[in-house]
Chain A
Amino acid sequence: MNIEIVCFLSGFHLGVVDRLLLVRIAFLSSVLILVCSRYYGLFFPITEPLFRSRPDEFSLPRLSWMGRSYVLARASLVVACLLALFGLGGPLLLVLIVMLFAALDFYTANFTPKIWPNLFHLHVFGTLCVLGELAPVFSPSSPISFSCTTILLMQWQVGLIYFFAGVVKVIHGGIDWALKAKSLHFVVLTNGTRLGRFLLSDFRSRRAASIGALILELFLPFLLFFPSLYPLFAFLALSFHFATYGMFGISFWHLWVFFPALFLLP
C-alpha cells in the first residue's frame, strides 16, 4: 500500500516509530497490571485438577504442564515486561512477552471456554506491535509504510470491537434489547453502582441508555473513515467507558489505554 495513503488513513503526524513506542508502552503496562492482578491469580492452578476431574473418577488428575509452570510463567512475564518497559531486550523480548501472555491467557480462559475472552484486542495489538517493530525484517524496502499499516490495523480493530458489540446485540438480543432494556435492567440490579441505580432507576432512563449505547456501538466506528474525527471518536468512546464504569464498575481500561497512541496524539 502506498505510504501516503496509509499515513492519510491513519491520520499521522506523530512519527510512526514514536507511535509504535507508545503502543508498546500501553501494551506492556496493560499486560504487567493484568498479570500482577487476580485475573491471573493462583486460584487457577490450585483449582485446575478440580475443574478437569471427570465425574466417574475417584482421584484428581495431575496439574497440566502450564499449571505446573504457572508461577514461573507469571514471574517471567512480570520481569520481561519490566525489562521491555525500560527499553531492554528489543523485539525478541516483545515476541516472548506476546507468546507467554497468550499461553497464560489461553490457560485461564480454558476454565470457562464458552465465556467471553475479553482480552482479544491485547493479543491483536501485541502481535501487530511485534510486526511493526520488525518492519525492517519483513519489509526491508518500505519499513515505515509497513509499520504505518500495523498502526492502521490496530485502529480498525478498535472500531470493529464496538461495531461487533452492536451487531451481536441486534442479532442475538433483537431490537427489544434496546427497547425493553432488560439486559441493562439486570446489569444495574446485579452490578449497578450507587450512581447507576440513581441514573437508571426507572424504565425510561434505562431504555434511553440502551438505545444510546446501541447507536453508539453501531455508528461510532464509521468515524474512523475520517482521520480528522479521531479525537471525536476517542472522546465519545471514552465517555462511553467512563459512563459504564461509573454505573456498573466496568471500565474496559485495557482497551482505552491505547487511545492516546492510536487516536489522540496528532
Chain B
Amino acid sequence: MQAQFILLCAFFACVLVQVWCSLLNKNIWPFVAQGMFAYRYDRLIKCMLVSLFDEAGNEVIVLPERVLPVASFRAQRMMIQIFSPDSNQFAAEQFAELLLSRLNHSPWKGFDEIEPSVRPGKGGDFVGFSLYACDLDLGLVSRLDRNVGVEDALVTRNLLYEYFSNPALLGGGDSRP
C-alpha cells in the first residue's frame, strides 16, 4: 500500500512537471511540452531553406530535413546552431563539407520522421549550398496541390551561410532574388 502511494505521488509529480512544460511551452529532457505544432503564425512565416548546387550549376531548393539524417523537427535548429554567424566558422566549414559528402556518397532513405536525403541529379554531384533564412507567405499558396512547393510561398530570403567545395564558385547562390 505504501509503495503504491509513493508510486502515485511520483506519477503526479511527473504530471505537474508536464503541466509546467505545457504552460510555458518548454522542453526539458525527458519532459515534453507536446507543442510540436502549437505555433501562432503571423502573416509571414520564418523558415530555413537550403539551395544545393550541382556540378552543372543546377539549383535544388529543399528544407533542412532533406540534408540531415535526423528527425525532421530537429533539422532546422541544428542548421541554425552550426551555421549562425556567431558560431565557430571552422566547425561550420567542417560540417558543410561533411553534409555535402554524405549527400553525394552516403544518401539515406526516409524512415518515420526522418526524410530521405535529396539526391544529386543528372548534373552531377552537389558541389555547394547556400543556407537561407526565409519569409514565407502562405497567402501566395492558399490552394495547395502537388505542384505547389515551398519556393512558391517565398517572399524574402537572406543568406546565412554558403559553402562551395571549389571556393571560386562562391556567390553561386545569388542567382535568385
Contact = CB atoms under 8 A, between A and B. Distances in A.
B31 interface: yes
Interface stretch (B53-61, B105-113, B165-173): B105-113
A50 B90 CA distance: 9
Nearest to B25: A172
Interface in A199-215: 200-203
A164 B22 contact: yes
Interface string B1-34: 1011001100100110011001101110111111
The secondary structure that dominates the A interface is helix
A131 B29 contact: no
A38 B32 contact: no
A171 B25 contact: yes
Contacts, number: 207
9 contacts: A37-B114, A53-B91, A56-B88, A106-B30, A114-B77, A117-B27, A120-B32, A190-B47, A202-B143
Interface of A: 1, 37-39, 41, 43, 46-47, 49-51, 53-58, 60, 102, 105-106, 109-120, 123-124, 131, 138-139, 141-142, 145-146, 149-150, 153, 156, 160-161, 164-165, 167-169, 171-174, 176-177, 182-192, 194, 197-198, 200-203, 249-251, 253
Given A55-B89, A171-B38, 14 more contacts: A43-B69, A47-B98, A111-B74, A114-B77, A164-B22, A168-B34, A172-B25, A173-B37, A182-B45, A189-B138, A198-B145, A201-B143, A201-B144, A202-B142
